[in-house]
Structure 1
């Protein structure tokens, strides 16, 4: 099914995520990555990317995030939405932040570990969409 580009996507809406639910998100993303054909290494790296965005959403978005997994032919898309009021600045540094800097690594890391990462903060919610492509089995 996951090799058929005409197959409809499968949407999996997870329950609202708080700090206590982040481990479950990681587990579900890793499983979904394997289902769409990501290698174990690629699924693990993408899971780290999603984890960073979910943690940011929970910490800066009012304590809860909404996570949706979209399984498609040879790719996995994860949408993370929060309702934070803090201003969103999507400035990814060109290089990793220095080791003594306490914050700022999550977005940089998520960008590096995703094939695509987009942010939409035009509405009242903030949406981050991460994508990982399978390169075949």
Structure 2
């Protein structure tokens, strides 16, 4: 018995559906972003100018590396979301009055610099291109 469905097999799956491996990579990048954000929050105030630069360089390297490893902008956004979540949770003061981030220039530079790096890396990351040979119209 023949099937009446004449669609090619490549069109059976939605084009934008991520594979389970890609989803695992994004989740791993999210967790790694949270770890880098927590470590950066500790380092940036320890050695003021050097620690701040080290924390921002680590975050920027993770954002760029995630984008290049996955070949998509979401590769930069996943660790940026984890970084942002960790940093925002660490800025909240506890009921005992303890806090990790002081109200100093270094803390604000870390927060704003990390957000700026996330936006820059996600903007400049290469978008996913469809596979296949390139073709020019009109030829």
Range class of TM-score, shorter chain: 0.3 to 0.5
User: Rg: which structure is higher?
Assistant: 2
Q: Calculate the TM-score normalised by the size of structure 2.
A: 0.32
TM-score (norm 1): 0.32
